[in-house]
Structure 1
């Protein structure tokens, strides 16, 4: 059991943290409001952290929280964790921080953890027994059992049926896909598909029931005749549907209050009993269960006194039981003061015959408005006060019978005061909604406009925001589960005292900074919210802002959640605009460099033309817009044409280009006209007047007009035939034997290597290698053989020069060694063309040569290995006793 901070004085102002999936709505908002009331009554402040990202798509919540960062854990003194706000692993990690923890509707990770839950079992039991009282015996259940509360409600439903002698059927269980309206629609589809086996249902949530009722009515069912419904939550939406929804009020505010009482006890070092701490629930009866009207909170019990009726009314329609909201403050509780203000004028009229004073009635109206009554509170008040009137009149003694008219007038005056209070509360709610819409419009316009100040400075907050706010953005891109670093980039503070926080580096566990939470006023209705600044895939940081929790909205979409999502969008837009501005600046700089380059080219153009004239180059000028080309006299002379033979069309040049070079030249010219930034430089062959082709070097630059479009192509044509032929000869000599013209050893090895790679890629491919070596005759002395060898070499070369087939290669690989690569021989052994060549060599030259043949190169490592194997075969051939065989086939 955690007993951290034992002995802390009760007067010390502490900070209580709340971790909740979202921080608004009738459930989460009511819990947080209850926490705030209890903490405020004890003189403490509250920080409520939303653990789910802002801007969730249509409330399709993930199964678990996405918050892995320990937000605010280092800056709070105690922690209330609301169900599903953290994964079990993160919840276990939170306990390691040593902060006292109390859970709300969550499975504990340690047996010592206290868990506060609404009385799910008691509320459902009362609802089921109420339906049985109406005569229903086939009672179903609809809900999603993913959460602890829903599982408890389902178990209580089955237990209550069994206690009343009803055996539940599996077909009576209608699974909902979630806790929202859509889940109820899905459950209604299952009920209709099963043939409507039930006459009544218990809905796990009000929102399930709302969707369920609407779906059944859309299919023609009449409610509650065809299907009675009782739900759980007492959300305002249940009072807006038809028929109005009977429901169980779980008093979520009281659950939050109870969690704070337990947490404060743990913070003081007191022992708190582990396990469940339940808060009583109340059945609110409307028309959906089959009742014709909203009954009195007394449930029709005639034995209750008038004051007891009013107490039940305050408990049902105006909030929780007396004493829970501010048990540690002196003076009466607000609800206690309300029911006294209702009962005392009626009792005074019964005892003394005097009506209530105007000041008392005005105070009653004020108290009624302050309690924020539920929508049906006025209707219940009429029923209850008329019942109180009847009982007071009936209880009058004979001596006071004349006070009966005063009692009736007093009850009427009290009803008018209560009506004013309820009306004032509804008008205040309408005004609050209107202000919320106006504030939201201001935020939308400021954040989405994109041309105002940076959203980081929080200047977009509405003018009506009087509290403090602080924005912290993550530093770096690390998204791990550790304590992430962040920087405070903006604050909202009317006093200016928090401006020093801007630029401060901190961590998520220390956010919001203590200076922000300490700035709040003790006892005010505001608390500090912390909401992730997220939208889609963006995760910017955290927004801390002071405000009042929204408890009456059916949708858990409070304004701070919406603001955080819009802020993430605005920050995304700001980053995008900054990137676009940088790109625009880079483009402007590039355009300036291009203009400067164009000016340089234009200036150098004239110098280049003069230099060309001095060098006697053939210049040409292609006017792109006119489609004509000026060919200088030198250009025409270079090709041997007279001046009048060549016109001014591009075809005069292009049609004389060698067919093998025409496509390359056309592509190069097209690239220049398309805006290629590099000058054209290309060697190609052009036909002269004699019909021969000569090699020409073409160089050209593009001249742009004022609009930056190509206007002219200016260049030269220089005869480079001698140099080009010398280069070709050098290339040929580098790869061919200069004496025989055959491929040399280097090129032959390269082609053999290529053939080896092909054999590895294709199982059907193979090639053969023949090695021919000029040898001396056995009877001829070595010194005399040199006279014969040149003739033998010439004959071998003559035979090898005869073409075999395209793809075959003959080479001289040594002084006396020649080789033949026969391509693509397949699996049929030595091809005919190679056999014919070897037969001619044996016939014409005889024993003065030795031949070795490899019929396959498959499996060889490299080209050197191939030649080595061929040489081994040739040596074996030389050692044979019959030299006339001449060939060894491996």
Structure 2
């Protein structure tokens, strides 16, 4: 039951490899505590993925009425926004940064310990010249750089300023120093410590372009241990941040503060660990602990979170895996046929706690080493156990391949969803994007949109839900009331409520709220909910542009009245309605040519504008006036059934137009000939218009 205080998160992005991992951890920890999570993305839907120092343009109190307190991620908002949150009485916990503030609790990875371990590892390999690359404007990177310097000094190595290689950002693109010219004489140092894995991957790409191979020509370490690090060639050695554990710690601190408990300010450190791989010159499989107490459990326990963050569920997964392996090995040793499926599934559950490529190798080696240490009765038992181990490893690999197939299917579904979204929002121009029916193409469970009103409120059309439930909206809400309470209540324990600005460049439409699961398997800023907000904004822009173009195509540019095409469209619509009664007046100005010839075209144009305005003011609601061209006008009169009515309206128009006009300091008069017709038995717009035209010429001929 999710009835606890709502946890708010301020994040530059609603998902992604780094931010998504933190958001997933926050959402899971909040759900375990009985709370829902609202993630507010502070960058625009189509913003660049490079951000430093917060989002100064984000200042709206989004969802403040629902949220009890905030976890604030790095580069989400400025310090002044944080102060506004605190002034509103909402506790704040910083996650992944502290911005140099000692007055707030901040959960951080132990940056210094991780870098010390990485640098010491390179020194143990015999390296004395070790470079550092990163963007030290960012506080956690500055910590890592300081730890790098201190570790060198502790080992009697003076830091060389020439070996600090500043990066423009924390991404692959930040490695601007790695140019072909700079690498002409080889790598800047035989060992390089990168502040982030993305920086490290940028280094590997740049040096590979210069035909420098890792680890033959240089060795390299990163930081973060993002999923793609292990898939590099060679595998990227990295410092592993326990992002899930950091998120859980931040949620715990926040909920304590919300409940009124004392939460000390300052840094709350979460351990990091160095993961050696091929890029630092080591084998890609981490070393295993030794010991005789419980060899199997000790070896596979490296896949669990650190001791201080291990949950009862984690320990139960470990216990079941160890028990299952022992059971099948014992069954095989006794000469009976073991059932491998439960053991393989138990090992897969253990693998899923740390789903890295080396984790499968850890499991395989642990099982092999465990059986090698067993005292078996005879050679036959040994052979049976060896066969059992091989079959168990193969069964686990098959489950892993099945999971990989599921991931490939997810990617196919994501591509399909993007296609269907594009078609629904950008191609199906007759649909209204605000009805959110297009969300059916995504995995989302529900959604609501708030569109800005003139006074900066949010007009909320009816929301969309995948499953039946209480209706959401329509309503007009303040920013602090959005998203609607009904949408928040509809979120299941595994789901998160995301709020993303529907803003692309200068087009600011409002806010989009979506109930979905966190996507941490794509690049930051490229998750589906972000794309939904961007495409939704573009779709509204396109609809508006098309309407402007349509109005321009159907309007007379001089008078602003509908033009011939628009009038014919109106007339055709009326003519298609059986039994509808209406009339048409055809107006032709008398004396307009003389005004044009004597006073000039500018005065003539001004006269047409004034005539159009007099016609417009003379009409009833539902009537339509249009300019056909030159000095000809037409009027559609709705619900007119008799000629006397037409004559009365025509006479009123004639008198109105005949009144003098004051133009360019002159008094100008024109007359008008008006032909009238009712629908009668005429079937088409052309026939009706021709009849009115003919009636006008009869009037004009009679007046001559």
TM-score by length of 1: 0.61
Q: 1:230 to 1:191 in 2, by over 3 A?
A: farther
Alpha-carbon distance in structure 2 between the residues aligned to 1:11 and 1:501: 22
Q: Matches of residues 357-756 of structure 1 in structure 2 within 5 Å?
A: 357-361=339-343, 363-364=345-346, 367=349, 371=353, 373-390=355-372, 392-393=373-374, 396=375, 403-449=381-427, 451-476=429-454, 485-495=457-467, 497-502=469-474, 504-521=475-492, 523=493, 525-587=494-556, 589-591=562-564, 600-601=588-589, 677=605
Structure 1 residue 53 corresponds to structure 2 residue 32:
no
Q: Which residue of structure 2 lines up, in the alignment, with residue 288 of structure 1?
A: 279
Q: Which residue of structure 1 lines up, in the alignment, with residue 201 of structure 2?
A: 210
Considering Cα pairs closer than 8 Å and 6+ residues apart, tell me whether 1 or 2 has the greater RCO: 2
Deviations 1:728-785 (A, max 9, x none): xxxxxxxxxxxxxxxxxxxxxxxxxxxxxxxxxxxxxxxxxxxxxxxxxxxxxxxxxx
Aligned length: 593
Shift of 1:263: 1.8
Alpha-carbon distance in structure 2 between the residues aligned to 1:400 and 1:582: 92
Q: 1:111 to 1:238 in 2, by over 3 A?
A: closer
Alpha-carbon distance in structure 1 between the residues aligned to 2:401 and 2:52: 40
Alpha-carbon distance in structure 1 between the residues aligned to 2:287 and 2:478: 51
Which of 85-94 and 380-389 deviates more?
Answer: 380-389
Q: 1:573 to 1:131 in 2, by over 3 A?
A: same
Q: 1:325 to 1:14 in 2, by over 3 A?
A: farther
Alpha-carbon distance in structure 2 between the residues aligned to 1:173 and 1:190: 18
Q: 1:678 to 1:540 in 2, by over 3 A?
A: closer
Alpha-carbon distance in structure 2 between the residues aligned to 1:263 and 1:351: 52
Deviations 1:491-549 (A, max 9, x none): 111345453511x121222222221111122x3x2111111111111121111111111
Look up the SS of the partner of 2:437 in the other structure.
coil
Alpha-carbon distance in structure 1 between the residues aligned to 2:236 and 2:131: 16
Structure 2: tracts of 5 or more residues without a match? 569-583, 609-628, 633-704
Alpha-carbon distance in structure 2 between the residues aligned to 1:437 and 1:92: 41
Q: Which residue of structure 2 lines up, in the alignment, with residue 249 of structure 1?
A: 240
8 A Cα contact 1:17 1:47, kept in partner = yes
Alpha-carbon distance in structure 1 between the residues aligned to 2:563 and 2:252: 68
Deviations 1:133-155 (A, max 9, x none): 22111111111112222111111
Alpha-carbon distance in structure 2 between the residues aligned to 1:206 and 1:385: 31
Alpha-carbon distance in structure 2 between the residues aligned to 1:338 and 1:213: 40
8 A Cα contact 1:153 1:204, kept in partner = yes
Which one of the candidate residues 150, 164, 167 is aligned to 2:155? 164
Which one of the candidate residues 50, 68, 74 is aligned to 1:83? 74
Alpha-carbon distance in structure 2 between the residues aligned to 1:147 and 1:512: 32
Q: 1:528 to 1:227 in 2, by over 3 A?
A: same
Q: Which residue of structure 1 lines up, in the alignment, with residue 643 of structure 2?
A: none
Alpha-carbon distance in structure 2 between the residues aligned to 1:670 and 1:25: 69
Which one of the candidate residues 255, 265, 289 is aligned to 2:256? 265
Q: Which residue of structure 2 lines up, in the alignment, with residue 127 of structure 1?
A: 118
Shift of 1:461: 1.5
Look up the SS of the partner of 1:177 in the other structure.
coil
Structure 1: tracts of 5 or more residues without a match? 1-9, 479-483, 609-666, 681-702, 707-890
Alpha-carbon distance in structure 1 between the residues aligned to 2:606 and 2:116: 86
Q: 1:679 to 1:406 in 2, by over 3 A?
A: closer
Alpha-carbon distance in structure 2 between the residues aligned to 1:172 and 1:455: 54
Shift of 1:334: 6.5
Look up the SS of the partner of 2:396 in the other structure.
helix
Shift of 1:23: 1.8
Alpha-carbon distance in structure 1 between the residues aligned to 2:168 and 2:124: 30
Alpha-carbon distance in structure 2 between the residues aligned to 1:487 and 1:109: 39
Alpha-carbon distance in structure 2 between the residues aligned to 1:166 and 1:277: 30
Look up the SS of the partner of 2:421 in the other structure.
helix
Alpha-carbon distance in structure 2 between the residues aligned to 1:593 and 1:442: 34
Alpha-carbon distance in structure 1 between the residues aligned to 2:113 and 2:187: 27
Shift of 1:362: 5.4
Q: 1:47 to 1:500 in 2, by over 3 A?
A: closer
Look up the SS of the partner of 2:515 in the other structure.
strand
Shift of 1:558: 0.7
Shift of 1:584: 3.4
Look up the SS of the partner of 1:49 in the other structure.
strand
Shift of 1:309: 0.8
Alpha-carbon distance in structure 2 between the residues aligned to 1:105 and 1:592: 61
Alpha-carbon distance in structure 1 between the residues aligned to 2:191 and 2:290: 22
8 A Cα contact 2:439 2:447, kept in partner = no
Alpha-carbon distance in structure 2 between the residues aligned to 1:46 and 1:467: 15
Alpha-carbon distance in structure 1 between the residues aligned to 2:359 and 2:84: 44
Q: Which residue of structure 2 lines up, in the alignment, with residue 309 of structure 1?
A: 299
Alpha-carbon distance in structure 2 between the residues aligned to 1:47 and 1:605: 67
Alpha-carbon distance in structure 2 between the residues aligned to 1:594 and 1:491: 37
8 A Cα contact 1:341 1:364, kept in partner = no
